[in-house]
Amino acid sequence: MAEKTFREKIEDRLHSWRRELEELQLQLHLGRKEAQEKLEEQKGRLRAWMDDNRGRFKEIEEEAGEEAREFQQKFNELLEKLKRAPAETKEAAKAQEAELSATMDELKVEAEKLEEQGSEQAAGMMDDFQDRLSRFQAHLKVLTAHYREEAAEEWQEFREEAREKIEKLKDKTAEWQQEAGEEWKEWRGEINKAFGNLSSVFRREKKS
């Protein structure tokens, strides 16, 4: 099979992100129990991907040597946290979401270092890994939001604001796809920033 061109790779990634946005939009309609089940499914998928790619990560760690130590530590830490039992209360869900997000943010920093310092193979692997973490973080924010008090007066406004932001992001990815030709790192930065803005909708404290 012929190697994909740079443009084709970008278009594939953007098409994939648009599907992700549509899935996130559907998740806004889930009930609490369904949201919990979907979150555990997402955790399992990320954990399985990390386990399946351990060998490839090991090769990169051996190549990078000492500089990969922090990455390996955070990688293993995230795997252990993804294995924890589902949160049963609103407080536990909020704490779990914050802990997972913090570990992933730290891991993405280490992955960025390896991407910049390693080989072309390492750069591609770290790019893919950071992308997967960003996607999971978006699902984590959306699905954990269901643990908040759905009966609260603000919930409808809260949900509508999130829907509107997702629609804008879908439109933005369509624009990006028409402009394929920028450096990939700049593209990825724009996408991650957009999803960071989406997840910020779910960081607001709700009134009791």
pLDDT in tens, 31-55: 888 989 999 999 999 999 999 988 8
DSSP E strand stretches across the chain = none
DSSP-H helix ranges across the chain: 6-27, 32-52, 54-64, 69-82, 90-117, 120-144, 155-178, 184-200
Q: How many domains does the chain have?
A: 1
Q: What is the mean pLDDT of residues 53-61?
A: 80
Does 116 have pLDDT greater than 70? Answer: yes
Q: Is residue 119 part of a domain?
A: yes
**CA atoms of 49 and 78, how far apart (whole Å):** 12
Instruction: Fill in the DSSP letter of residue 66.
Output: G
Q: Is residue 208 part of a domain?
A: no
The predicted structure's pLDDT at residue 179: 67
73, two tokens: 């530590």
Query: Domain range for residue 44?
Result: 6-203
Q: Is residue 136 part of a domain?
A: yes
The predicted structure's pLDDT at residue 206: 45
Token pair 């008090």: residue? 149
Q: Is residue 1 part of a domain?
A: no
Q: What is the mean pLDDT of residues 191-208?
A: 62
The predicted structure's pLDDT at residue 39: 94
Mean pLDDT value across the chain: 81
**CA atoms of 176 and 110, how far apart (whole Å):** 27
Q: Is residue 134 part of a domain?
A: yes
pLDDT greater at residue 78 or residue 11: 78
Question: How would residue 6 be classed by pLDDT, with cut points 50, 70 and 90?
Answer: low
Looking at residue 118, its amino acid is G
**CA atoms of 110 and 57, how far apart (whole Å):** 13
